[in-house]
Homo-oligomer: A and B are copies of this chain.
Amino acid sequence: MATNRRILLSEIPTGKLTEEHFTQDEVELTSPGDGEVLVRTLILSQDAANRAWMQGATYRSALSSGQVMSSGGIAEVVESNVDRFKVGQIVSGDLGWQEYAVIPGHQLTPVKDHDGPLSHSLSLLGVAGLTAYHGLINVPGIHAGEVLLVSAAGGSVGSIVGQIGRIKGAKVIGIAGGTEKCRWVVDELGFDACLDYKDTSAPLRHQLAAVAPDGVDVYFDNTGGDILQTALFAMKMKGRVSCCGAVSMYDGKPSAGPFGVPGLLVTKRLRMEGFIVSDYRDRDNDAYHDLSMWAKQGELKVVEDIIDGLENAPRGLIGLLAGENRGKRMIRVGEPGS
């Protein structure tokens, strides 16, 4: 009898997320019913948003304790009661942290063929790449010669945002934690500069003033909190802020917003705009086209941070929230065709 290993969110965190909030179990594999598909997990996506889902309803309903931890991912069809899905086909969907999942067909999407490895469907051509593309190109826009500031610059989204900015001719400044990571952002990803928000010898605003003395045209915010605060004060007149997420706010209690909202917005005529990736679904083809092209040309490096083993999903997510990943973090659970 086949079994399914799963990781449950056994307790909703009220403060920092720890491994104690999760438990692992093993249950009998169930068969798909009418309109359902049984899939085998290959790779799970890890995203800061996973933590936000635990805090309450966002763009999706909140998670509840005792359920399998939710997670997007890529899987192979094992058994299908839906005509358009065939055994062996590669699909994506909300699989959860488990080896197998039974999912209604309408909640699954066929994964497009592409040149790179399968994992690119979750990184460059997945939510990370699309978020970076739409959140920069279709929200604030970016123009040659502008100064682009990106927080969480070494992360899945930030690493791509900054590279797109560079390709578009902007001066790109990243923000990341730690000397070594900052050096990597500059050397590997080709940012013009990367500021270390953990550097206690130089406040972030001084570091920023040194590399962008005339201010920032576009700030791509992945963090919220103090970093957003610093960025708002450094914006040029008519600057644009793309609000992608607030990773600094997810893992703990919500706190008040930045000083200067709305005062700074008026004085500097700033525009702050939130978005989520699905708002721009009708332009996904632009993103697939441009991102693939840039990767093929070697202009855009796809940085992946893959951890092996379902059992490492909790540790992986906790580390992600602490900023330890470089590029897109994923959990490899199985190999296709095995």
> Which A residues are within 8 Å of any B CB, using their own CB?
52, 58-59, 221, 224, 228, 238, 243-246, 249, 254-276, 279
Name A221's closest neighbour in chain B (CB-CB): B262
Question: Copy number in this complex?
Answer: 2
In the complex, which of the residues A256, A263, A268, A275 has the most CB atoms of chain B within 10 Å of its own CB atom?
A263
CB distance from A138 to the nearest CB of B (A): 12
Q: A246–B266 Cα gap in the complex (Å)?
A: 9
Give chain B residues whose Cβ lies under 8 Å from the Cβ of A264: 274
For A258, the closest partner residue in chain B by CB is: B257
- Contact indicator A243/B257 (Cβ below 8 Å): no
Task: Decide: A256 and B254 in contact? CB cutoff 8 A.
Answer: no
A263 in contact with B224 (CB, 8 Å): yes
- Min CB distance, A250 to chain B, in Å? 9
Query: Is B266 within 8 A of A274, CB to CB?
Result: yes
Measured CB to CB, the nearest residue on chain B to A228 is B262
CB contact between A266 and one of B243, B255, B260, B262 (< 8 Å): that residue: B243
Known: A268-B274, A269-B275. A261 touches B258 (CB 8 A): yes
Closest residue on chain B to residue A255 by CB atoms: B259
Least distance between A249 CB and chain B CB atoms (Å): 6
Give the docked Cα–Cα distance between A302 and B217 (Å): 39
A70 CB to nearest B CB, Å: 16
List of B residues within 8 angstroms of A245 by Cβ: 262, 266
B259 touches A265 (CB 8 A): no
Are B257 and A266 in contact, CB atoms less than 8 angstroms apart?
no
Nearest 5 A/B pairs, CB to CB: A265-B274, A257-B257, A257-B261, A256-B256, A266-B274
Q: In the complex the two chains form, is B269's CB within 8 Å of A276's CB?
A: yes
* Cross-chain contact of A274 among B249, B267, B273, B279 (Cβ < 8 A): B267
